[in-house]
Amino acid sequence: MSDTLVQIGGAPPAARGPRLPEWARKSRTHFESLNRLKRGLRGHGLHTVCEEARCPNIHECFHRGAATFMILGERCTRGCGFCSVQKLNPRKHETQLDANEPGNVARMARQMQLRYVVITSVNRDDLDDGGSRHFAETVREVRRALPEARVEVLTPDFRGDLDAVARVIDAGPHVFNHNMETVPRLYARVRPQADYRQSLAVLKFARGYGAAEMLTKSGFMVGLGETAPEVRTLLEDLRAAGTDVATVGQYLQPTRRNLPVVEYVEPRQFDAYRDYGLGLGFRMVFSGPLVRSSYMADLVREEASQRC
């Protein structure tokens, strides 16, 4: 097989891209626990990325006691091509942060008896601190409410403001995650308001600033038109930044307005990326069609426990 990833169907991608292959599908299970949790979330006016991003692993993760909360509002000041979160226009929309949000996230996480809580946010480039104080407060509230749980933060790049990164780390997350999302050649299309080197700098700073027992983590999607050598270079760059854990998953088009899937990467290619990453020295590499940022987060938790 050539180094270039196989494009299914061979023809240029249609508006909706190639057909979803069997290996990228997931059976729906655990409906009961999922519906119970959804009712609880609505009651607190909270949102999980698991739902917003239509994550294919939502049933499994909720059932396992892991969930990802999205804070700093429902709208984002950026417009990444792969993301279905609505755009925030500060002239038109409410920009005030909900002061009760940190406490509500903590209460809901406790009610859900979560063992692993992921806190992420939209980008808030309109705020002086990028929302980092609110982010840090949410981490502190969750850690107070659920001292046994592990907390992972999946942060924006805070426009490269390392004081903001430090503020979040000072709140004591067990895992600091910042996603690269794609290879640098595709940034202009996939992540136009972000900068590849800036994101690497955030991860490198986090590794140096955080305590040794805090893991750093990053993830990206494949199927957006990248090549295998580009993916290997991205993994090398992440390792050079000291990143401990990498996640590699198939991009799935969340709505028809988002970028089309260029290709469905075959499972053996995901295995090859995992093996390559492990060879580079990552502590863990999760690589597979349905892998998402927080997939199998409880395994990361176990690893983190051994280091704490």
Question: According to the binding rule CB under 6 A, does residue 122 interact with ligand SF4?
Answer: yes
Question: According to the binding rule CB under 6 A, does residue 221 interact with ligand SF4?
Answer: no
Length of the chain: 308
280, 235 contact by CB (below 8 A): yes
What is the nearest approach in angstroms of ligand SF4 to the Cβ of residue 83?
3
Q: Determine the residue type at 79.
A: G
Cβ-based nearer residue to ligand SF4, 116 or 187? 187
What is the nearest approach in angstroms of ligand SF4 to the Cβ of residue 129?
16
What is the nearest approach in angstroms of ligand SF4 to the Cβ of residue 57?
18
What is the nearest approach in angstroms of ligand SF4 to the Cβ of residue 155?
10
Q: Which of residues 147-206 bind ligand SF4 (CB under 6 A)?
A: 156
Q: For residues 111 and 62, what is the distance between their CA atoms, to the nearest angstrom?
A: 13
Q: For residues 105 and 70, what is the distance between their CA atoms, to the nearest angstrom?
A: 9
What is the nearest approach in angstroms of ligand SF4 to the Cβ of residue 290?
19
Question: According to the binding rule CB under 6 A, does residue 293 interact with ligand SF4?
Answer: no
247, 286 contact by CB (below 8 A): yes
Which listed residue (50, 66, 83, 224) binds ligand SF4 by CB under 6 A?
A: 83
Which listed residue (80, 112, 165, 200) binds ligand SF4 by CB under 6 A?
A: 80
Sign of the torsion formed by the C-alpha atoms of 238, 240, 241 and 242: positive
Nearest alpha-carbon partner for 114 in 61, 155, 153: 61
Q: What value, to the nearest 5°, has the Cα angle with vertex 295 and ends 159 and 197?
A: 25
* H or E segment and range at residue 268: helix 267-280
Which listed residue (48, 57, 68, 123) binds ligand SF4 by CB under 6 A?
A: 123
113: left (phi over 0), alpha (psi -120 to 50) or beta: left
Q: Which of residues 33-72 bind ligand SF4 (CB under 6 A)?
A: none
Interacting stretch for ligand SF4, rule CB under 6 A, among 74-82, 103-111, 219-227, 249-257?
Answer: 74-82
Question: According to the binding rule CB under 6 A, does residue 75 interact with ligand SF4?
Answer: no
Question: According to the binding rule CB under 6 A, does residue 261 interact with ligand SF4?
Answer: no
Q: How far is CA 7 from CA 2, 169, 265, in A?
A: 11, 40, 8
Question: According to the binding rule CB under 6 A, does residue 78 interact with ligand SF4?
Answer: yes
Per CB under 6 A, residues contacting ligand SF4 are 76, 78-80, 83, 85, 122-123, 156
